[in-house]
Amino acid sequence: MRLLAFVVLCVSIPCYAINTTHEKCINSFTRDIYYRYYLTQRCQESVELLKKNPNIWKTIDFDNIEAGIFENIIVKEKAGLIQKNHTSQHFIELWHQMKSLRHVDDSSFHQDFIKLLFMIYKSIEQPAAQKASSLVTAPYSIERMLSSIDMHIDKLRSNVPKRSSSEYALSDSSSITTDDIALNYYLIQRLDKSIKLLSIMHQDLAASRIGWFDHAMCNIGINFSHERINYCFNQMSMHKNLAPFLHTWQEYARFRHAGDAHFLKEMLMMLFAVYKDLLFVKITEETEEFITSEMSTILDLYEHVNELPLDEILHAIDITTDKLLLLQSMDKKVKQSWDQQYPVLFHTFLALPIAYLIIKTCAL
């Protein structure tokens, strides 16, 4: 991870304004490290699912995992052992080699690892009569196999739209560039504080039952044209909580949408819109004076959010995040002050429900 962070710093900053001609400055070893990191992030969820659910291995038809279709000698050997022993041990050993960046410059190693993972998931779906050759009938690209694995995982989750395999982007692996991976990594780190705050706000809204979505989200004023973002927005409006956005962010954090500029732009627009509305919900007469100077800036940025480049949308998210953090800390101080000034009254109110339950239980 430290090595990756160092490599990120070596790329021209800001990453979101990088020019494709800068690719000449990145040597092949650096590109290999970036690409292997991308693949491990893409595979993390699917591998963890296999590790945490040993019963899945009981549903696999191991005759379909035919070692002869692999080119890489290491993967071929492990695939043969998997077929023979019917255990996950040899697959996990391959996964450790992937994560530890072994054979990082060997394209056949990661190509065959993805192929093996793809075959495992397809073998779970296919009838036992299907042969290994029918599972991989064409030289599928890495991205196509990863998309197929995503589709299987999505079937197990309720927070994503159910789509057919033809609706997934079946692009060639070469379409994911070093710049795409660097930008994805940069934004995950850049928005870490904002997403953590959003998780806290999600819990607070659920606990307080504030009807924010009834008057804010449904009239957000932005039309989202990306299918995944539009679905996320509709789910947020339907369920009246922030969980769909947090799930969508997790997809991005797993690099599932790396290289999709349309998705990225609209995801940031939605995050800014959510924060803008949350800020208005949190403002009271006592706190208004602390953020009045920034409100006109926030509203002006929001009015032109469709036209803003990524760096300015990030700046807008920074402003709203910092102000929400300020209001959160002020609320916390007010609560602590109230508890300290009226400790007897506070603990009396806290004890009343407990006393009532004790008396009622004794009466029975």
Q: What percent of the chain has pLDDT over 70?
A: 66
Spacing of C-alpha 253 from chain mean position:
3
The 10 Å CB-count burial string (b at 16+, else e) for 345-354 is eeeeeeeeee
Cα→Cα distances 127→59, 135, 211, 304, Å: 10, 11, 48, 53
Q: In sequence order, what E strands does 223-340 have?
A: none
Longest Cα–Cα distance in the chain: 81
Mean pLDDT of 6-16: 44
Q: Residue ranges per domain, the chain?
A: 2-175, 191-343
Least confident of 87-91, 111-115, 327-331: 327-331
Write the DSSP string, 245-278. HHHHHHHHHTTTTTT-HHHHHHHHHHHHHHHHHH
Spacing of C-alpha 331 from chain mean position:
30
Work out the pLDDT band at 196, boundaries 50, 70, 90.
Answer: very high
Cα–Cα distance, 279 to 290 (Å, whole number): 12
pLDDT at residue 256 greater than cutoff 70: yes
- Residue pLDDT, tens place only, 113-124: 999 999 888 887
pLDDT at residue 191 greater than cutoff 90: yes
For residue 99, what are the contacts with CB-CB under 8 A and spacing of at least 6? 40
Handedness of CA 75, 39, 90, 134 (dihedral sign): negative
Q: Are 113 and 101 in contact (CB under 8 A)?
A: no
Work out the pLDDT band at 151, boundaries 50, 70, 90.
Answer: confident
The per-residue pLDDT for 239 is 82
Cα–Cα distance, 310 to 180 (Å, whole number): 14
Least confident of 158-162, 265-269, 342-346: 342-346
The two structure tokens encoding residue 277: 């509305």
pLDDT at residue 339 greater than cutoff 50: no
For residue 127, what are the contacts with CB-CB under 8 A and spacing of at least 6? none
- Residue pLDDT, tens place only, 224-237: 999 999 999 988 88
The answer, as to whether pTM is greater than 0.85, is no
